[in-house]
């Protein structure tokens, strides 16, 4: 699967930041993809 980082990079970074943030209500692991 290819990701277009120039198009989606910012959204991916924001989503990742929300997931790893301490106390985040988003409680899931996205490893290995």
C-alpha dihedral, 18 to 20 to 15 to 9, nearest 10°: 130
- Write down how long the chain is: 33
What does the pLDDT read at residue 23? 54
Render pLDDT for 1-33 as a digit per residue (tens, 0 to 9): 566 667 777 887 887 776 666 555 555 555 544
- Residues 30 and 19: their CA atoms lie apart, in Å, by 9
Give, in order, the Cα–Cα distances in Å from 11 to each of 7, 23, 28: 9, 20, 17
What does the pLDDT read at residue 10? 83
What does the pLDDT read at residue 22? 52
């Amino acid at each position: 699967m290819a990701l277009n980082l120039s198009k989606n990079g910012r959204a991916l970074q924001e989503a990742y930041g929300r997931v790893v943030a301490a106390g985040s209500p988003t409680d899931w692991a996205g490893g290995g993809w």
